[in-house]
C-alpha cells in the first residue's frame, strides 16, 4: 500500500523540480542595428528555449504584437519622462487604451514597470510623482476591466544606504519613508512585487571573484544574524529584505528585474568574459529556481529577468555594455547555460585571461575613478549630476583645493569618488552609466581629497536630493509627438549651434511657479527652480529655440 504511493510522490517531485529549473525571464533590449524582427524572436523563445517571460524597456507595439498567443509573459515599461502625466486619471486611461487594451488578452501582459531606476536618476519631479502615477495607472487598468496586470517600478541598489553586512542594511533617508514605504504599501495591497536590479558584476574585484560568481569561497559571516553568505547575490537580496522589513514590509515579494554579466568588455575589464558570464548566469538560474532561498529568506523563489537577451551593438560607451546578451543576433548562444529546451549541458566559455599584475593596494580601501575610455562628455555629465544633487563641489571650482589640474577628467575623478564615498561605498554607486571603476590603488597625489565628512557612524549624511539653489545648468525639453529633444545649456544660454543634444523621453510639462520673465504660461512651459529647466510645448522644437534665444536676450539686457 505504502510502496504504491512512492512512484506517484516521486513523479510530482520530479515534475516540480523540472518546472522550477526551466523557468526564467530575460530583458529584451533593442539597441542594435542587426537584431532579428520581433516575430522571429517570439517564435525562437517559444519553440527553442525555456524562457517563459520577457521585460522590455518601452511599449513597442511590434514586440507586444509578436508575443500574442505565445503564452510568454510580457512586462512593459513606462518611460521615465511619462510619469508625471500619468498622475492624471484621464491621461492614465488614455495610456491604457493606447498601449494595453488593443493587445489584451492575446498578449499576456504581466507587469507594467513605471519608469526605470527613477529614485537613483531623478530628477525630483519624477521621484515625487512615481508612486502617485503607479496608483493612478493601476486604477486605470481596473476601470478598463483589466484585473490581472500588475504595477511596479525597478530600482537600482543605490536605494540602499548600506548592504554589507545585510543586517545593517537600510533604505536611504528621505527615500525610505517619503517614497519607498508608500510604494511598498501599494505593492502589498495589489499583491505585486518590489523590483530591484542587483548586479554583482559592478561589485567585482579579483579578491571577491568567487563570491560574485557563485563559486566556492570562504564567504561572509554576518555576526548580527549568525548567517554566512557564500555569494554576493544572496547578500544583496537579504540587504533589500532587511531594508523592507525595517519599514514593516517583509512579506512583499522581491523580483529581480535586471541582473547579468557581460561576456566581453574593454581591455581593462578582464573579468568580462564568457567563462565568468556563464558561471554567473548558470549559478543565478540554479539559485533562483531551486527554492532554497537566501539565509534570511529560506524557501523563497525569485522571479528573475536576466540582462539581456541579445548582444546590442548600439549600446555603449563601454564594450561590456554591448556584450550582456545570452544570444547573438543570429540566435546562436554566446555561451551555454542550459536554457535550450531539453538542454542539460554544463555552462561553457573560454578560460578567463589572467589579470595583469597590479600595483600594491591600500589594504581595505577603495576609490571610484573614471574609466580610461570614458569620454569628456560623459564625465561632464557625471559632474553635472553629482554637483546638482547637493554635493559640495567647491573644491573643484576656481580657487578650490582640487581645481588643479583644471580639466574635466580630474574634476570628474573628484566628484565621482566623493559621491561613491558619501553613499556608503557601495560599488554600484561608482557605476555612472558604466564610466566609473573601483580601484584599491589610491589615485590621490597632490590633488584634493574627496573623502567626505561622515556623521560618526562611517556613513555620510549626504543624500542624493536636488539642491534648489544650485543653478549650475539649464535643460530645455521640447516635445514633438512621441519624441523629445534635450538641449543642454551649461551655466548660461548658449548659441543654438553650441548646444549639445541627446534623445530622451519626457512628458508634456505642467506649469509651476517661478517662471522667468518673458516665458509665460501661454507657451505651456515649465521652469523648475534648481538644476533643470523642462519645457513642454506641443508645437515642436522651433518655439523652444525661440524662447531660449529670447531668454538669452533678456539676460544680456539685464547686464
Measured distance CA(47)–CA(49) in Å, rounded: 6
Residues near 513 by beta carbon (within 8 Å), at least 6 away in sequence:
none
Q: Which of 117, 162, 312, 321 is catalytic?
A: 117
Measured distance CA(296)–CA(283) in Å, rounded: 19
In sequence order, what are the beta bridge partners of 436? 370
Angle at 146 between CA 144 and CA 151, to 5 degrees: 110
Q: Starting from the edge strand earliest in sequence, which strands make up the sheet with 500-504, in order?
A: 473-480, 483-490, 500-504
Measured distance CA(170)–CA(160) in Å, rounded: 6
What three-state secondary structure class fits 474? Answer: strand
Residues near 276 by beta carbon (within 8 Å), at least 6 away in sequence:
209, 213, 261, 349, 352
Q: Which of 162, 258, 312, 321 is catalytic?
A: 258
Contact (Cβ atoms closer than 8 angstroms) between residue 402 and residue 395: yes
**Packed helices 232-246 and 274-290: angle between N→C axes, nearest 10 degrees:** 50
For residue 50, which of 347, 344, 346 has the smallest C-alpha distance? 344
Residue 552 burial class via C-beta count within 10 angstroms: exposed 0-12, middle 13-18, buried 19 and up: middle
Angle at 167 between CA 436 and CA 368, to 5 degrees: 15
Is 557 catalytic? The answer is: no
Distances (CA, A) of 441 to 269, 372, 414, 491: 16, 15, 15, 34
Neighbours of 444 (CB within 10 A): 14
**Cis upstream peptide for 303 (omega within 30°):** no
What three-state secondary structure class fits 492? Answer: coil
Measured distance CA(424)–CA(407) in Å, rounded: 27
Is 258 catalytic? The answer is: yes
Question: Do the strands 436-439 and 500-504 form a parallel or antiparallel pair, or are they unpaired?
Answer: unpaired
Active site residues: 117, 258
Amino acid at each position: 500500500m505504502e510502496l504504491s504511493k512512492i512512484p506517484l510522490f516521486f513523479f510530482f517531485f520530479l515534475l516540480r523540480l523540472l518546472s522550477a529549473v526551466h523557468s526564467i525571464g530575460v530583458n529584451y533590449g533593442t539597441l542594435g542595428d542587426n537584431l532579428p524582427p520581433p516575430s522571429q524572436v517570439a517564435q525562437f523563445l517559444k519553440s527553442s528555449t525555456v524562457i517563459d517571460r520577457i521585460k522590455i524597456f518601452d511599449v513597442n507595439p511590434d514586440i507586444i504584437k509578436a508575443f500574442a498567443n505565445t503564452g510568454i509573459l510580457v512586462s512593459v515599461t513606462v518611460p521615465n519622462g511619462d510619469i508625471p502625466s500619468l498622475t492624471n486619471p484621464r491621461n492614465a486611461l488614455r495610456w491604457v487604451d493606447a498601449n494595453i487594451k488593443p493587445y489584451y488578452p492575446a498578449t499576456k501582459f504581466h507587469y507594467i514597470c513605471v519608469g526605470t531606476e527613477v529614485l537613483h536618476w531623478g530628477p525630483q519631479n519624477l521621484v515625487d510623482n512615481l508612486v502617485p502615477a503607479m496608483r493612478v495607472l493601476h486604477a486605470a487598468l481596473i476601470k478598463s476591466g483589466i484585473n490581472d496586470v500588475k504595477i511596479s517600478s525597478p530600482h537600482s541598489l543605490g536605494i540602499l544606504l548600506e548592504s554589507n553586512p545585510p543586517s545593517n542594511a537600510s533604505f536611504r533617508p528621505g527615500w525610505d519613508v517619503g517614497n519607498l514605504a508608500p510604494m511598498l504599501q501599494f505593492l502589498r495591497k495589489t499583491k505585486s512585487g518590489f523590483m530591484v536590479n542587483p548586479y554583482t558584476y559592478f561589485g567585482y574585484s579579483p579578491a571577491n571573484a568567487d563570491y560574485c560568481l557563485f563559486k566556492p569561497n570562504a564567504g561572509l559571516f554576518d555576526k548580527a544574524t549568525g548567517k554566512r553568505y557564500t555569494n554576493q547575490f544572496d547578500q544583496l537580496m537579504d540587504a533589500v529584505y532587511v531594508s523592507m522589513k525595517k519599514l514593516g514590509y517583509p512579506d512583499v515579494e522581491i523580483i529581480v528585474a535586471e541582473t547579468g554579466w557581460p561576456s566581453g568588455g574593454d581591455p581593462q575589464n578582464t573579468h568580462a568574459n564568457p567563462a565568468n558570464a556563464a558561471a554567473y548566469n548558470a549559478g543565478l538560474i540554479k539559485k533562483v529556481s531551486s527554492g532554497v532561498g537566501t539565509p534570511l529568506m529560506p524557501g523563497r523563489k525569485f522571479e528573475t529577468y536576466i540582462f539581456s537577451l541579445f548582444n546590442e551593438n548600439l549600446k555603449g560607451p563601454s564594450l561590456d555594455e554591448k556584450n550582456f546578451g545570452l544570444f547573438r543576433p543570429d540566435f546562436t548562444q554566446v555561451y551555454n547555460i542550459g536554457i535550450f529546451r531539453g538542454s542539460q549541458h554544463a555552462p561553457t566559455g573560454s578560460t578567463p585571461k589572467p589579470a595583469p599584475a597590479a600595483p600594491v593596494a591600500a589594504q581595505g580601501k577603495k576609490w571610484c575613478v573614471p574609466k580610461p575610455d570614458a569620454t569628456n562628455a560623459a564625465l561632464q555629465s557625471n559632474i553635472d549630476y553629482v554637483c546638482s544633487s547637493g554635493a559640495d563641489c567647491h573644491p573643484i571650482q576656481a580657487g578650490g583645493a582640487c581645481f588643479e589640474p583644471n580639466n574635466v577628467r580630474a574634476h570628474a575623478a573628484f566628484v565621482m569618488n566623493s559621491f561613491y564615498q558619501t553613499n556608503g561605498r557601495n560599488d554600484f554607486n561608482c557605476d555612472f552609466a558604466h564610466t566609473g571603476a573601483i580601484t584599491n590603488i589610491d589615485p590621490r597625489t597632490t590633488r584634493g581629497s574627496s573623502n567626505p565628512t561622515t556623521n560618526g557612524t562611517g556613513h555620510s549624511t549626504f543624500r542624493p536630493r536636488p539642491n534648489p539653489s544650485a543653478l549650475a545648468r539649464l535643460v530645455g525639453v521640447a516635445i514633438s509627438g512621441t519624441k523629445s529633444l534635450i538641449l543642454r545649456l551649461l551655466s548660461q544660454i548658449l548659441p543654438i549651434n553650441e548646444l549639445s543634444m541627446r534623445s530622451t523621453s519626457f512628458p508634456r510639462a505642467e506649469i509651476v511657479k517661478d517662471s522667468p520673465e518673458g516665458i509665460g504660461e501661454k507657451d505651456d512651459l515649465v521652469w523648475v527652480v534648481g538644476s533643470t529647466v523642462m519645457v513642454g510645448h506641443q508645437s515642436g522644437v522651433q518655439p523652444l529655440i525661440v524662447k531660449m534665444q529670447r531668454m538669452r536676450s533678456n539676460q544680456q539686457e539685464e547686464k
